[in-house]
Structure 1
Amino acid sequence: MSEGVHDRLLRQFEQGERDALEALLARLSEAEARLGAEAAAAPERLRKHLDDLLAKLASAKAETERRAEQFREELLGVDPSPDAFRARLVMLE
């Protein structure tokens, strides 16, 4: 009788291990599928982010050029004192 209990407990243990391994395999498969989907979407997402950054850079460059041109026009229009010139440079930073 003791041997029957031992066999039953061993079978239950083995079944529990199989169930745990199958559950782990299912979770790993889900994680692999999710990572695959994210990896497939990454290039497009990164391209969009790069396009956004390039647009911001172009906008900042245009604004810098506009402000530099405005500054040049102000310098040509008047003869500023050194203090006024320094103050204007500080404001541009």
Structure 2
Amino acid sequence: MLNAPSKFGPLSYTMNSNVATNKITVTLTPPARNAPSAIKVKLRHPLGNPIQSVTVKGTTYTNYSGDMITLSGLTGQTTIVANY
């Protein structure tokens, strides 16, 4: 998705699901014009496996529950990796 319009400004993202490595990678460019306080990303594993860990910009991230990751304070392109 490239430059999708939103209430907060354009938003871009790509998703790559790799079942063989139990990993979903998201590259997200959040809106810059009027940045939201939080962005929620819901990632469902194709086989229904639960998220075991998350990294954001290469750092361990713990603000997730079930298949929902809540991101706050994002600026610029951000890589999110969910491990299952």
Identify the TM-score tier after normalising by the shorter chain.
Answer: under 0.3
Instruction: Give the number of the structure with larger relative contact order, counting CA–CA contacts within 8 Å between residues 6 or more apart.
Output: 2
Bigger proportion of residues as strand: 2
Provide TM-score, normalisation by structure 2: 0.18
Bigger proportion of residues as helix: 1
Q: Which structure's CA Rg is the greater one?
A: 1
